[in-house]
Amino acid sequence: MKARLLPEPSPYLDIVANQFSTVTAENEMKWALTEPVQGQHTWAAADRLVDFAEQNHQVVRGHTLVWHNQLPKWVTSQPWTPAELRAILKKHITDEVTHFRGRIWAWDVVNEAFNGDGTLRDTMWLRALGPDYIADAFRWAHQADPKAKLFYNDCNIEGINAKSTAVLALVTKLRAEGVPIHGVGLQTHLGTQYDFPHTMQDNLERFAALDVDLAITEADVRVPLPVDGDDEARQVDAYQRALRACLAVSRCVSYTVWGVGDSYSWVPGTFPGQGWPLLYDDQLKPKAAYRAVQHDLSEAPNWAPHRSGRGAGRG
């Protein structure tokens, strides 16, 4: 699950501590937060999250090392040469992964590098460094912590489509070149007004055939407001179908929900008129989707310890 840690004990923290086996930082490990001024790192918030996880026998997913959003202004406001920008990116990855070396189970190394049509997203990294920045990021992260699992993470790649096929081609290429990429994260931001990606299990299986792990990294199911009974049923169905697709593929090792209670979700601020996306409501009461996910996990008692995050109990 995604955790937003609070400064003192609370019902929220009790749920985080007792209902999850991994945590993922929502913002605390993003570059704008960890190095707002060049050369001056602010690790306190991220350290607090990792400390909390270790105290509660949880593992941590690091999110995220390379993205086109939430970058420090000092990175985006200067006309760096390609050589300078490459050195800056390498130092960022090396500094952050080294700081948490041995304490992070898996990193989302590169996040959202593709457009929906399968072309590479036009970012400052692609423009300055070319497509090889992706392979370099994985190599630098592996050098800093050889034991961490390294993932590529993206949205709208749950089913078989142009984007997921492009990611598949990327992973195939990187694996053939010996690049240390160990998994693919499927964000799985769904909505009850959309069809479920029916080819999700087939998609997971074709990635697993590349000898990489899979993870559901940011699951939520948003609903047009106000909520009615049909919306609730569709939300339950979407959560269960995503989980069951993961459970059916042996290389799918983690199921993480993107938040705990609805009042903490990113959805209302990004999609006006939509909300209610998580397993707990805004009063931190478990919803029907929680009970459905909990039931399915209880039916899979041998699921690996890091098949985590699920919001409904330990994996």
- Residues annotated catalytic, as ranges: 112, 218
Q: At which residue do the structure tokens 């050589």 appear?
A: 83
Contact 145, 104 (CB under 8 A): yes
How many CB atoms sit inside 10 A of residue 81's CB? 9
Give the list of residues 6+ apart from residue 92 with CB closer than 8 angstroms, or none.
31, 35, 65
Contact 208, 214 (CB under 8 A): yes
Is residue 257 within a helix (H) or strand (E), and if so which, with residue range? strand 252-257
Give me the sign of the Cα torsion angle 242, 243, 245, 251. Answer: positive
Greatest pairwise CA separation for the chain in angstroms: 56
Residue 77: helix, strand or coil by DSSP? coil
